[in-house]
Structure 1
């Protein structure tokens, strides 16, 4: 899907043909969109890199074109197991044009298009680039807080009932944190190299914004690491609880087995088809049952005295 936008009077409006100072946003490009980008001077390899979700964040310069790959947080509502993921966004900046390429529809770009972010102008390419970076870090922090909230809910469920379902859910949250941590670190390296390269011409307020973006990105990395450590610790703790519960069950079964061992032995002896003492007595059944019960009580008392029940 191709969308061309131009800022006028502080708002973005859609246009039919590209003009100087416009923003061209392409989502899930088809062959026609790729041909259009090639006519704009964007390399086909860069388009495919922008659609590769495993691509790392980076930038490169080719004459008057600047190519940037950044990693943005992405909420996949169709994936109930691991909804929080990251996506690749390709940005091509050419004199007079600003092009974004992605494989998925991004809530971050939608915020910019729908005017939920202040001071967005398609005619200021570097400022628009920084707004995308800034909004990306905001969503990283927002999704990290949501992951923490979900982990607290799962922890509460695990306190009531330790089940595999909750442990699998925690493992899925751990996957999301791994995605976030990897992408945030990749972005951090790209930001640092982009600053040192002096490719972007930034005003003083833009430099302050870029510094804020770097700080928030590092904060997001720290949050992701902390939440990951907490989840790992919880998973290890509850795995120990499950193992301990299994040991308790096996202990109870062992106690029951030992308590019934002697009555089982008595019943087995009097079940043999040979001559036994008192076998002709009419009360031998009651005596054998009484002795079996007494033996079970004695074994149980002995196990209690040696603290097997604790």
Structure 2
């Protein structure tokens, strides 16, 4: 879907039907026809939009003439996954920014936080003079989103640890496994994002004034912090999985040992009852106290075996 926005006379964000001047073009899961239309109308390099819609593309910067393509990764929470124990809930998705003339274009296959409301709240304008400010604001907000998501994953890891300490089951380990996968996605994307951010400064791709540079530095610092926290959480998650994997194995071994001991204790009266239940002549079968004696023998033997197992810590 392609939506074209423009600022009206009152500086309010308004949708327009056709390209004018100083537009923001929002493309969410664009169709082939929309991509072809935009490429033709703005004389964009075809590969710009091809890479912008590639779900496997890495963060990068491309330039051709006056046109520039920025691809970053956004932290993404999959709405189709209700809980981290069911599948990988937290991922990263490519988000493209294309700067061409007076037009500011964003492309993503999913809905993002960068909506018309976001631009209104940030009081951002459109046009060539605002390309740097808009791009840096998006990078800064993305860095904030990474920080928030890493904290959320950290809280879920802590909750999974608490649950694991009381559980003999595997679902909690799957939760940690999927969270670890999420951290892997984030660590990979953040490392590439940091490379892209440094390339912006080294190559002078965006002309930054003093205020713009402050936004850039803030975004860079927060991305570095998010990357460091992600690595720490990933290491912690791996350690927790290893530790609790061993704990669960020990717990299962203890349960099996207990059940085996109980089975042996119960097999004694079962064996005696089975023998004296046979339809053949048996010793003392005509004695009037035979039943009571058998019950007593069963109880004594079971108690003796149970005490032996108790002494060996089988119970």
TM bin, normalised by shorter chain, reads 0.7 to 0.9
Aligned match for 2:80, one of 65, 78, 81:
78
Task: Name the CA distance, whole Å, in 2 between partners of 1:306 and 1:100.
Answer: 69
Displacement after TM superposition at 1:133 (Å): 0.8
Displacement after TM superposition at 1:32 (Å): 3.0
CA shift in 2, pair 1:149/1:117, >3 Å: farther
Aligned length: 307
Task: Name the CA distance, whole Å, in 1 between partners of 2:48 and 2:186.
Answer: 23
Displacement after TM superposition at 1:59 (Å): 1.0
CA shift in 2, pair 1:13/1:163, >3 Å: same
Task: Name the CA distance, whole Å, in 1 between partners of 2:294 and 2:118.
Answer: 87
- State which drifts further: 221-230 or 270-279: 270-279
Task: Name the CA distance, whole Å, in 2 between partners of 1:53 and 1:234.
Answer: 31
Displacement after TM superposition at 1:294 (Å): 1.1
| Cα deviations by residue, 1:40-81 (Å, 9 ceiling, x for unpaired) | 122333223212222100111112221221111223323324
Task: Name the CA distance, whole Å, in 1 between partners of 2:117 and 2:159.
Answer: 29
User: Residues 185 and 221 of structure 1 are in contact (CA less than 8 Å); yes or no, is this contact kept in structure 2?
Assistant: yes
Aligned match for 2:61, one of 59, 62, 67:
59
- State which drifts further: 258-267 or 214-223: 258-267
Task: Name the CA distance, whole Å, in 2 between partners of 1:36 and 1:126.
Answer: 26
- State which drifts further: 278-287 or 217-226: 278-287
| Cα deviations by residue, 1:134-153 (Å, 9 ceiling, x for unpaired) | 11111111222222333344
Displacement after TM superposition at 1:18 (Å): 2.3
* SS of structure 2 residue aligned to 1:53: coil
User: Residues 168 and 252 of structure 2 are in contact (CA less than 8 Å); yes or no, is this contact kept in structure 1?
Assistant: no
- In the alignment, what sits opposite 1:297? 303
CA shift in 2, pair 1:262/1:83, >3 Å: closer
Where does the alignment leave 5 or more consecutive residues of structure 2 unmatched? none
Equivalent residues in 2 for 1:43-122, closer than 5 Å = 43-81=45-83, 82-113=88-119, 115-118=120-123, 120-122=124-126
CA shift in 2, pair 1:299/1:85, >3 Å: same
Task: Name the CA distance, whole Å, in 2 between partners of 1:18 and 1:77.
Answer: 33
Task: Name the CA distance, whole Å, in 2 between partners of 1:144 and 1:111.
Answer: 25
- State which drifts further: 66-75 or 298-307: 298-307
Task: Name the CA distance, whole Å, in 2 between partners of 1:50 and 1:246.
Answer: 50
Equivalent residues in 2 for 1:192-271, closer than 5 Å = 192-271=198-277
Task: Name the CA distance, whole Å, in 2 between partners of 1:243 and 1:211.
Answer: 48
User: Residues 69 and 90 of structure 1 are in contact (CA less than 8 Å); yes or no, is this contact kept in structure 2?
Assistant: yes
Task: Name the CA distance, whole Å, in 1 between partners of 2:145 and 2:11.
Answer: 23
Aligned match for 1:146, one of 146, 152, 155:
152
Normalising by the residue count of structure 1, what TM-score does the alignment of the two structures yield? 0.87
Root-mean-square deviation (CA), in Å? 2.6
* SS of structure 1 residue aligned to 2:238: helix
User: Residues 50 and 103 of structure 1 are in contact (CA less than 8 Å); yes or no, is this contact kept in structure 2?
Assistant: no
* SS of structure 2 residue aligned to 1:149: helix
- State which drifts further: 2-11 or 17-26: 2-11
Displacement after TM superposition at 1:88 (Å): 1.1
Task: Name the CA distance, whole Å, in 1 between partners of 2:16 and 2:270.
Answer: 89
Normalising by the residue count of structure 2, what TM-score does the alignment of the two structures yield? 0.86
* SS of structure 1 residue aligned to 2:121: coil
Displacement after TM superposition at 1:161 (Å): 4.4
Displacement after TM superposition at 1:106 (Å): 0.8
1:125 aligns with 2:131: yes
